[in-house]
Amino acid sequence: MSDKTYQHIDLHMHSTASDGKLTPSELLALAHQEGVEMLALTDHDTTAGLAEASSAASEHGIKLINGCELSVAWKKIPLHMVALGFDKDCPRMAFWTQRNQAVRLERGRQIADLLRKKGLPDLFDKAVEEAGQSQLGRPHFAKVMVREGIVKDINKAFDHYLGNKKLGQIRDVWPQLEDIVPDLAATGCELIMAHPKRYPLTVTKLKSVLQDFKILGGTAIEVASGNERPDYVRFLERLSRDFEFKASAGSDYHGPFGPWTQVGRYTQVHEQEISPIWYQW
């Protein structure tokens, strides 16, 4: 079997409710087209797309798992945690998504202030308008800068104004693992460390994160996320066994940007060597 193939399960993807390119309905239609039978919509810090996704899932005969990808922090290092299987009206999930949305809005104000200090006009309101129902982020500022003729294209916006080094003064105040994980774990939902190999962590630090995550109530790690190197997936499978985590997998689909970002497509996992989280559903 190829290391990269289409799967029937996809537990990580994004819609226009956060930073994806397709609406929840369009996403579910594409998933049905690609043969996905179980899907989790995991928009960043919001559950706003779940109602529409639920209706579309029923239409296409797809099993939908309520999901959300939450921004969190471990010792000031930003990480992502996927929550799955929570009730759509879960008050604790609503609390944390609302908190993170406030952080994102404040971050936008900080970005606008920094850009003004560099001689640009105040772009905050226009960026918010550009974001619409999506979450405010740097790409929205970039699109406004292009439209206003400040830069030639989005790449130039990031090169000159919006790159991480250019916005070094910005500090996101995401919830610490020790605060958010036990609180959500008490609701009975699954808490998954998303794409662990994407963070700037040594193996020693990664294992330390996972140890803390496990103690606090984390239940799983993502062993495959999109176009991941097969050796990384094997490494994460080993970690899932070592820490006795369940294993999750998904495409982390945002839009049609390339051949290995399709819905339902991610590096093959060895189901017989892990404890697949999707078996419970």
* Extended strands (E) in 47-189: 63-74, 77-84
Structure confidence at residue 2 (pLDDT): 39
Q: How many CB atoms lie within 10 A of CB 113?
A: 13
Q: How far apart are CA 198 and CA 125, in angstroms?
A: 32
**Residue whose C-alpha is closest to residue 24's, from 46, 1, 2:** 46
Q: How far apart are CA 257 and CA 253, in angstroms?
A: 9
Structure confidence at residue 6 (pLDDT): 47
Model confidence pTM above 0.85: yes
**Residue whose C-alpha is closest to residue 64's, from 37, 92, 91:** 37
The overall average pLDDT reported for the chain is: 92
Structure confidence at residue 133 (pLDDT): 74
Q: How many CB atoms lie within 10 A of CB 249?
A: 28
In order, the DSSP letters of 156-210 are HHIIIIISTTTTTT----PPBHHHHHHHHHTTT-EEEE--GGGSS--HHHHHHHH
Lowest mean pLDDT among 106-120, 133-147, 192-206: 133-147
Q: Is 169 exposed, middle or buried (0-12, 13-18, 19+ CB in 10 A)?
A: exposed
Read off the pLDDT of residues 62-103 as tens digits, 9 standing for 90 and up.
999 999 999 999 998 989 999 999 998 999 999 999 999 999
- Which one of 3.30.300.20, 3.20.20.140, 3.40.50.1110, 3.40.50.1100 gives the CATH number of domain 4-96+175-280? 3.20.20.140
Domains of the chain: which residue ranges?
A: 4-96+175-280, 99-162
> DSSP state, 162?
I
Amino acid at 36: V
Q: Are 71 and 100 in contact (CB under 8 A)?
A: yes
In order, the DSSP letters of 246-277 are EEEEE--B-SS-STTSSTTEEE---GGGS-BG
- Which one of 1.10.150.650, 1.10.510.10, 3.90.245.10, 1.50.10.10 gives the CATH number of domain 99-162? 1.10.150.650
Amino acid at 85: G
Q: How far apart are CA 81 and CA 221, in angstroms?
A: 9
Read off the pLDDT of residues 21-73 as tens digits, 9 standing for 90 and up.
899 999 999 999 999 999 999 999 999 999 999 999 999 999 999 999 999 99
